[in-house]
């Protein structure tokens, strides 16, 4: 089982910071950080809240290594909005035809914009409403 210190150390490394820079930014003495590492003490509640906020992680994860229900829901929700069929099937009874059309157009626009950003200049031609399994067609220039 990982300790609070090990999770903090992981976050510091993931952000590409030095421990010294982390301590300076959050006004933590290097001695306190060393005590956390050796298990002599743990961060105060206020400091844990600051650290969680700084790294944008939940207190649940920082303290016990478990994702909060909110984080799990947020992860699942991200896929939901990028699949137009599921969106409209799930919400069909609640949305008017105009609202459904708007959402479809917006999602199509978002897909097009993402396509343009990711494929700019490498010979792919955008095709709307394409199956996810198919590869985009190449321009024959």
Which pLDDT belongs to residue 112? 79
Per-residue pLDDT of the chain (141 residues; tens, 9 = 90+): 588 999 999 999 998 989 999 999 999 999 999 999 999 999 998 999 999 989 988 888 888 887 655 554 454 555 545 454 554 455 455 667 777 777 778 878 888 777 777 765 555 565 666 555 555 555 554
pTM value is 0.48
Which pLDDT belongs to residue 137? 55
CATH class held by domain 4-68:
mainly alpha
Which pLDDT belongs to residue 97? 75
Which pLDDT belongs to residue 29? 94
Which pLDDT belongs to residue 106? 80
Q: Report the DSSP beta bridge partners of residue 124.
A: 138
Q: Which of 41, 45, 54 is nearest to 8 (CA)?
A: 54
Which pLDDT belongs to residue 68? 55
Q: 28 by DSSP, 3-state: which?
A: coil
Question: In terms of C-beta density within 10 A (0-12 exposed, 13-18 middle, 19 or more buried), how is residue 57 classed?
Answer: middle
pLDDT tens digit sequence for 52-78: 989 988 888 888 887 655 554 454 555
Domain ranges of the chain: 4-68, 81-119
**C-alpha to C-alpha distance for 70 and 130, rounded to whole angstroms:** 32
């Amino acid at each position: 089982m990982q300790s609070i210190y090990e999770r903090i150390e992981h976050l510091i490394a993931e952000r590409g910071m030095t421990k010294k820079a982390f301590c300076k930014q959050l006004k933590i003495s290097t001695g306190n950080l060393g005590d956390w590492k050796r298990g002599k003490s743990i961060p105060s509640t206020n400091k844990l809240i600051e650290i969680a906020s700084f790294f944008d992680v939940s207190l649940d994860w920082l303290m016990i290594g478990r994702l909060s229900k909110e984080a799990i829901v947020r992860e699942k929700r991200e896929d939901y909005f990028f699949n137009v069929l599921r969106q409209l099937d799930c919400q069909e009874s609640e949305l008017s035809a105009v609202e459904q059309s708007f959402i479809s157009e917006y999602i199509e626009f978002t897909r097009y914009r993402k396509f343009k950003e990711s494929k700019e200049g490498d010979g792919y031609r955008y095709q709307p409403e394409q199956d996810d399994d198919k590869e985009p067609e190449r321009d024959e220039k």
